[in-house]
Amino acid sequence: MACQQWVNKNQWASNVVEQLLHYSQSLWQFCCSLLHGRTLDESHQHHLEQLQSQVKQAYAAYADDPFHVDSLTLCIFLVPIDQRLQQDSDTLHCFLKSYTLACDQQKLLQA
């Protein structure tokens, strides 16, 4: 004859909640690792690739219409794109900040 053992309902419910939280946390960590990289090097590489993509978009927009940038700031495009993409992330970030400010300045002048 099999013995039937009664389970504490509160303990069972707390174990279920604990396992769901662990599962949710593991999903969150996996998602974050895909977006930001699993290691610090992967994270830096992902950030650099995003900056390079934004720089390429800025150069393409400038090639389409050089007048969407303030004329005093056109010198930021004197560096060829191949050399610009070789620069470190801080330099690329400064370029993008200058580019954004130049575009904003041009919009103000046109308004």
Give 30-39 pLDDT, tens digit per residue. Answer: 888 777 777 7
Whole-angstrom distance, CA of residue 61 vs CA of residue 88:
22
Binning pLDDT at 50, 70 and 90, where does residue 3 land? Answer: low
Residues 6+ apart with CB under 8 A from 48: 89, 92
| Across 32-36, 46-50, 94-98, least confident range | 32-36
Spatial contact of 46 and 54, defined as CB atoms under 8 Å apart: no
Residue 54 in this model has a pLDDT that exceeds 60: yes
Spatial contact of 58 and 84, defined as CB atoms under 8 Å apart: no
The full set of domain ranges for the chain reads: 8-37, 39-110
Binning pLDDT at 50, 70 and 90, where does residue 40 land? Answer: confident
Q: Region 8-18: what's the mean pLDDT?
A: 87
Binning pLDDT at 50, 70 and 90, where does residue 4 land? Answer: low
CA distances from 89 to 56, 61, 64, 85 (A): 14, 21, 25, 9
Residue 43 in this model has a pLDDT that exceeds 70: yes
